[in-house]
């Protein structure tokens, strides 16, 4: 009977696996032309100062609007783009689009904020990365201090000497640096101290169950304490509830990002939120 069950399961899952594989192949083939076909979009999600309630930054998050498969999440196509190299071009486009958008908000009279852009491992390894970023800043007229780049420990750990050198060059330009998904990678305190970053972003997985899982709370508190003692600013990602927000604020977390404030949205939806930067976000003061 077990054998029969196994067989029926196999028959049940087989077409599904095939479809997944098929989809991956489709995505892989169509990724290279996606930019030219204008299928990529940049969404924005605000980062909130947990004490003042002001928006301090926006994270740029790429989306792929596929003509037949619909909206595809970066979690699905970034790894493919990373594997076939398309990420270099896509990443540069996201960077240019996000910098131009931030400059446009400034020109429209909104209080200046940082724009935060995720860098991929492949991009980080590009020998001309610093020049390319510098050129994008010049082209868009955005100040380096209004740009933040998010990197992850896992890819910095590849060639540490080189990573430190590149990070230093970016810092010298005046760009802010954040360690993304902190706590999930190969954290090494020894290297953390050598990476010239400005901020840590506590991974969503810890924030998610910070109220129900004492271990997640312990890790969250430890990361906040670590950031404080290294004089780094600290952001919590994935804030979804008032309880999480209150807890994080009480623990001394500086900034928060999550569905509680806003999910990632197109730029035109962001503009009305920006007008509020002179006041406090109602959610927090309520
Ligand atoms: P990330 O950089 O850690 O971005 C945060 C992710 O968490 C985003 O997913 C965001 O939508 C999601 N998120 C934010 N708040 C909440 C919340 O309260 N609850 C939940 N459940 N999720 C929340 P998204 O947009 O799907 O992006 C996934 C990942 O893809 C990003 O994680 C980043 O690693 C990567 N990515 C996105 N855009 C780019 C890009 O332009 N370049 C590169 N290299 N990677 C990107
Ligand atoms: Mg990020
Ligand atoms: Mg993150
Ligand atoms: Mg994350």
* ipTM of model: 0.98
Choose the residue to mutate in 204, 240, 283 for probing ligand 1, maximizing ligand atoms within 8 Å of C-beta. Answer: 204
Whether the CB-CB separation of 86 and 32 falls below 8 Å is answered with yes
Question: Whose Cα sits closest to atom 20 in ligand 1?
Answer: 238
Q: Is 46 in the pocket of ligand 1 (CB under 6 A)?
A: no
Higher pLDDT, 188 or 76: 76
Q: What is the Å distance from ligand 1's center to 276 Cα?
A: 24
Is pLDDT above 80 for 17? Answer: no
pLDDT score recorded for residue 13: 59
Residue 279, pLDDT score: 46
Q: How far is the CA of 103 from the centre of ligand 4 (A)?
A: 26
pLDDT tens per residue, range 209-263: 999 999 999 999 999 999 999 999 999 999 999 999 999 999 999 999 999 999 9
Query: From atom 35 of ligand 1, which residue's Cα is the shortest distance away?
Result: 74
Compute the distance from residue 220 Cα to the ligand 2 centre, in Å.
Answer: 17
Measured from the alpha carbon of residue 148, the closest ligand is 2
Ligand 1, atom 10, lies closest to the CA of 264
Please name the residues in contact with 169: beta carbons below 8 A apart, sequence gap of 6 or more. 130
DSSP helix, strand, coil percent of the chain (3-state; round to 5): 55, 20, 25
pLDDT band at 24; cut points 50, 70, 90:
confident
Indicate if ligand 1 lies below 6 Å from the C-beta of 209.
no
Distance CA 260, CA 246 (A): 12
Q: Give the pLDDT band (50/70/90) at residue 56.
A: very high
Quick one: 140 exposed, middle or buried, by C-beta within 10 A (0-12, 13-18, 19+)? buried
- CA–CA dist 118, 75 (Å, integer): 13
Burial of 36 (0-12, 13-18, 19+ CB in 10 A): exposed
pLDDT at site 284: 41
The values of phi and psi at residue 211, to 5°, are: -85, -20
pLDDT average, residue stretch 122-133? 96
User: What is the structure's pLDDT at 269?
Assistant: 93
**Nearest ligand to the C-alpha of residue 257?**
1
């Amino acid at each position: 009977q077990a054998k029969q069950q196994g067989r029926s399961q196999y028959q049940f899952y087989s077409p599904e696996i095939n479809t997944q594989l098929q989809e991956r192949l489709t995505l892989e083939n169509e990724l290279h032309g996606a930019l030219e076909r204008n299928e990529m979009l940049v969404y924005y999600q605000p980062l909130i100062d947990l004490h003042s309630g002001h928006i301090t930054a926006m994270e740029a998050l790429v989306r792929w609007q596929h003509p037949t498969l619909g909206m595809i999440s970066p979690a699905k196509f970034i790894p493919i783009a990373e594997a076939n190299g398309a990420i270099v071009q896509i990443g540069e486009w996201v960077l240019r689009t996000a910098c131009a958008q931030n400059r446009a908000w400034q020109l429209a009279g909104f209080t200046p904020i940082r724009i935060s852009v995720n860098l991929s491992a492949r991009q980080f390894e590009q020998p001309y990365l610093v020049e390319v970023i510098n050129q994008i800043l010049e082209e868009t007229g955005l100040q380096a201090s209004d740009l933040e780049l998010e990197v992850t420990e896992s890819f910095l750990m590849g060639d540490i000497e080189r990573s430190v050198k590149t990070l230093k060059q970016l810092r010298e330009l005046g760009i802010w640096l954040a360690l993304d998904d902190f706590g999930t990678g190969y954290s090494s305190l020894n290297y953390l101290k050598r990476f010239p970053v400005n901020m840590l972003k506590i991974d969503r997985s810890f924030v998610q169950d910070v109220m129900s899982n004492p271990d997640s709370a312990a890790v969250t508190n430890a990361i906040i304490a670590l950031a404080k003692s290294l004089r780094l600013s600290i952001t919590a990602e994935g804030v979804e509830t008032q309880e999480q927000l209150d807890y994080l604020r009480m623990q001394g977390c500086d900034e928060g990002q999550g569905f509680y404030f806003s999910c990632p949205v197109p730029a035109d939806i962001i503009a009305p939120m920006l007008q509020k930067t002179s006041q406090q976000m109602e959610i927090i003061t309520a």
